[in-house]
Amino acid sequence: MPDPDRDPGGELFAGHAFRDAGLLKQALTHRSAGAPHNERLEFLGDALIGLFIAEALYARWPKADEGALTRARSELVRESSLAGIARGMDLGGALILGPGEMKSGGHRRDSILSDALEALVGAIYLDAGYEACRSAVMPWFAHAIEELPAGKVEKDAKTRLQEWLQARQRALPVYEAVSESGDDHAKVFRVRCRLSDAELSAEGEGGSRRAAEQAAAEGVLQHLLSAP
C-alpha cells in the first residue's frame, strides 16, 4: 500500500503522478527484458480492472441481469479492448522489451499491450491506493462504456452458435486445436470449429485458446447465417 507521508509529486504517466518510479518501470518491463518484470503487477491489475468495470456497470444499468452485466464486462476487459486502450496512450512506445521481442515488434502485439496495461493498473494501485487508482483508470474506459447499448450486450460467438444449433435440434460444434506457436509469454493459438452433422468448419486465431475458439465459432456462424 502507498505511504501517505511520501512526496505526492512524481513521474507523470497515463494521468498518474507516480511517487514510486520503480513501480512504473516494473509495470513497463516485459519478462523478456529480465527481472523485476510486470507479471505480478499484471495479476493484480487484472483483478482491479474487473472490479472497477463491474462497479461501473452495476451502477449504470440498475435493471440489467447478471448475464448482461457479465457479457458487458467481458467485452470491455477482453484482450483486444485493453490493447486498444494501450495504443491510445502509446503504451507500446514506453515498454521495456528484450532484444527478441523488440525485433519481432512485441510493442505492437495485443497480448503484450494488454498485459502491460493491467500491470500499469496494479502499479497505480500500489502507488496510490484503491480510490486514486479507480479515478485514474476509469476515464480510460469511459468512451467504451458509453458506447455499450444500454443494459444489453450481444452474446459471444460460441454461445450464439450453440443456441442457433440447439434451436434447430442440431448437434453441438466440435473445437479442435490446430496449432500453437510463439514463445510461452506470447502464444498464438489456432483452433478449428467443426459441425459434426455437416461439411462445415472454420478456423480462428487468438492469444488464448478461448479467443481462438471464439474467432472460429464466429466464422462458422457467419457461414450458417449467410446460407440460403
Map out the domains of the chain as residue ranges. Answer: 11-147, 157-226
pLDDT in tens, 39-87: 999 999 999 999 999 999 999 988 888 888 988 898 899 888 899 999 9
**Residue of 136, 144, 143, 142 lying closest to 117 (CA atoms):** 136
CATH no., domain 11-147: 1.10.1520.10
Binding site per annotation, positions for Mg(2+):
42, 115, 118
Question: What pTM value is reported for the model?
Answer: 0.68
Q: How confident is the model at residue 8, as a pLDDT?
A: 43
Give the CATH architecture of domain 157-226: 2-Layer Sandwich (3.30)
118 is catalytic: yes
Question: 3-state DSSP helix/strand/coil percent for the chain, to nearest 5?
Answer: 60, 15, 25
**Residue of 123, 116, 155, 121 lying closest to 53 (CA atoms):** 121
pLDDT in tens, 22-39: 999 999 999 999 999 999
Helix ranges (H only) for 78-227 are 79-88, 99-103, 110-128, 130-147, 157-167, 209-226
pLDDT by position in tens, the chain (length 228): 444 344 444 678 888 999 999 999 999 999 999 999 999 999 999 999 999 999 999 999 888 888 889 888 988 998 888 999 999 999 999 999 999 888 888 888 888 999 999 999 999 999 999 999 999 999 999 988 888 876 556 678 888 899 899 999 999 999 999 998 877 656 788 999 999 888 899 999 988 888 889 899 999 999 898 876
Cα separation, 46 vs 11, in Å, equals 23
Contact of 172 with 161, CB cutoff 8 Å: no
**Residue of 163, 40, 144, 30 lying closest to 94 (CA atoms):** 30
Among residues 79, 101, 110, 118, the one annotated as catalytic is: 118
147 is catalytic: no
Instruction: Show the cell assigned to 171.
Output: 448437434
Contact of 183 with 194, CB cutoff 8 Å: no
